[in-house]
Amino acid sequence: MADIVVKAAYGSVVEDEGMLFVGFAEGEDEEENYALFRQPLGGGPVWFEVGDETFGTEDGIDSVTLGPEGLEIAIAPAKRAAFGFAGSVAVRIGAGCEDAAPALEALRRMLGARFQG
């Protein structure tokens, strides 16, 4: 069981100011929960945050596994303090999650070998 859960209604892929953003959000309001991955377009470290910029860090992802319910994100032990000491984040992606497929494909390319499934 994951320590943090995001029930995604939307996926997104955005390129802006030299950065690639891949996100999953529960809704369109700023106050709704989300998971966001960010990386320079040319490659480099991946920033990951959940729900708020203060709960995020660079290179904090051990692995991301795609399963039947969505994503399971394992946080690197040395980076868990940035996530309130959570060791894992689940992003539940149901059949009604808008734009999930392009977001998952972009995330797969972004994370390379850290993405499984």
Burial of 24: CB neighbours in 10 Å, binned 0-12, 13-18, 19+: buried
pLDDT in tens for each of the 117 residues of the chain? 789 999 999 999 999 999 999 999 999 888 899 999 999 999 999 999 999 989 999 999 999 999 999 999 999 999 999 999 999 999 999 999 999 999 999 999 999 999 998
What's the structural domain count of the chain? 1
Contact indicator for 52, 40 with CB cutoff of 8 Å: no
Give the end-to-end CA distance of the chain in Å, rounded to a whole number.
Answer: 18
pTM: 0.95
Contact indicator for 68, 90 with CB cutoff of 8 Å: no
Range of the domain at 92: 4-116
- The torsion angles phi and psi of 107, rounded to 5 degrees, stand at -65, -40
